[in-house]
Amino acid sequence: MLDIQATDPQPTSRNATDNAVTSPTTVRTAKKFSPEVRKGLLGLGLGNALEWYDWMVFGLLSAFIGPNFFPNTDPLSATLDTLAVFAVGFAFRPLGGILLGTLADRIGRRRVMLLSIMLMAGTTLVIAVTPSYTQIGAWAGIILVACRVLQGISTGIEAPLSTSHAVELAPEGREGYVAGIMSFYVNIGILLASLVSFLCSLVLGAAAMGEWGWRVPFILGALFGFVVLYLRRSLPETMKAEELATNTSKAVWTGVRKHWLSVLAIVFVVGAAQAYNYAWNVGLPTAARSGFKEDPTAVFALTTVLGLILVVGSWIIGKLADGRAMSRWFLITRILAIPSVFLMLMYVQPGIGGFAAVLLGGSLVLVLNMTLYNVVSSSLMPKNCRGAGVALGYGIGVALFGGTASYLLVWLQSMNLSWVFPVYVAALSILSIVFYVAARRSNGIFVGK
Q: Give CA–CA dist 434/448, Å, rounded.
A: 20
Q: For the chain, which domains are there?
A: 37-232+257-443 (1.20.1250.20)
pLDDT of 417 strictly over 80:
yes
pLDDT of 382 strictly over 90:
yes
In Å, how far are 39, 114, 122, 238, 301 from 235, measured between CA atoms?
8, 9, 20, 10, 35
Choose between 388 and 399: higher pLDDT.
388
pLDDT of 306 strictly over 60:
yes
Nearest C-alpha neighbor of 89 from the set 63, 123, 66, 140: 123
Q: Note the pLDDT of residue 21.
A: 43
Handedness of CA 103, 108, 114, 117 (dihedral sign): positive
pTM for this entry: 0.78
Choose between 72 and 367: higher pLDDT.
367
Q: What is the pLDDT averaged over residues 94-103? A: 89
pLDDT of 222 strictly over 90:
yes
> How confident is residue 73, by pLDDT bands cut at 50, 70 and 90?
low
Which tens digits make up the pLDDT trace of 185-206?
988 887 888 788 888 888 888 7
> How confident is residue 7, by pLDDT bands cut at 50, 70 and 90?
very low
- The b-or-e profile of 95-121 (16+ CB within 10 A means b, else e) is bbbbbbbbbbbbbbbbbbbbbbbbbbb
Q: What is the pLDDT averaged over residues 42-70? A: 84
pLDDT of 11 strictly over 70:
no
Contact 230, 326 (CB under 8 A): no
Contact 117, 50 (CB under 8 A): yes
pLDDT of 323 strictly over 80:
no
Q: Note the pLDDT of residue 388.
A: 92
Contact 346, 354 (CB under 8 A): yes
Q: Note the pLDDT of residue 344.
A: 82
Q: Note the pLDDT of residue 17.
A: 42
> How confident is residue 255, by pLDDT bands cut at 50, 70 and 90?
very high
Mean pLDDT, the chain, rounded, equals 83
Q: What is the pLDDT averaged over residues 403-414? A: 78
> How confident is residue 26, by pLDDT bands cut at 50, 70 and 90?
very low
Q: Note the pLDDT of residue 79.
A: 65
Which tens digits make up the pLDDT trace of 38-54?
888 899 999 999 988 98
